[in-house]
Amino acid sequence: MSTDLSRTADGRAADPGGPARADRWSGLRRAAPALLGYAAVRAVGVLVLVFWPRREVGAMTRLSHLWDAPFYQRIAESWYRGVPPVPGPHGAYEAYAFFPGYPAAIRAVSWISPLSYAQAALLVAWACSLVAAWGIFAVADRLYGRRVGVLAAVLWGVLPVAVVESMAYSELMFTAFAVWAVYAAVTRNWIPAGALALCAGLCRPTGIAVAGAVGAAALWDLLSRRGPDAPARWRPLLGALLAPLGFVGYVGWVGYEKGSWDGYFKVQEAWQSTFDFGRSTLKSFAALLGRPDTVWLPQVVVAMVLCCAVLLFGVSVLQRQPLVLLLFSAGILVLALGDAAYFTSRARFLLPAVGLLLPVAAGLARVRTRGTVVLLLSGAALASAAYGGFLVYVYPDAP
Q: How far apart are CA 221 and CA 238, in angstroms?
A: 13
State whether the Cα torsion 147-149-155-157 is positive or negative: negative
Q: What does residue 93 show for φ and ψ, rounded to 5 degrees?
A: -80, 115
Q: What does the pLDDT read at residue 152?
A: 97
Q: How far apart are CA 113 and CA 334, in angstroms?
A: 40
Q: How far apart are CA 13 and CA 15, in angstroms?
A: 7
DSSP characters for 347-387?
Answer: HHHTTT-GGGGHHHHHHHHT---HHHHHHHHHHHHHHHHHH
- What is the tens place of the pLDDT at every residue in 39-49? 999 999 999 99
Cβ partners under 8 Å of residue 176, min gap 6: 128, 129, 131, 132, 135
Q: How far apart are CA 351 and CA 332, in angstroms?
A: 9
Q: How far apart are CA 94 and CA 91, in angstroms?
A: 9
Please check whether residue 381 is in contact with residue 45, taking contact to mean a CB–CB distance below 8 angstroms. yes
Residue 53 C-alpha from the chain's centroid: 30
Please check whether residue 298 is in contact with residue 344, taking contact to mean a CB–CB distance below 8 angstroms. yes
Cβ partners under 8 Å of residue 199, min gap 6: 101, 177, 246
Q: What does the pLDDT read at residue 27?
A: 82
Q: How far apart are CA 189 and CA 191, in angstroms?
A: 6
Q: What does the pLDDT read at residue 274?
A: 80
DSSP characters for 86-151?
Answer: B--TTS-B-GGGS-SHHHHHHHHHHHHSS--HHHHHHHHHHHHHHHHHHHHHHHHHHHH-HHHHHH
pTM: 0.90
Q: What does the pLDDT read at residue 97?
A: 92
Low-confidence ranges of the chain (pLDDT < 70): 1-24, 226-231, 292-293
Q: What does the pLDDT read at residue 229?
A: 57
Query: Can you name the residues that pair with 86 across neighbouring β-strands?
Result: 93
Task: Give domain limits for the chain.
Answer: 24-393
Q: What does the pLDDT read at residue 5?
A: 39
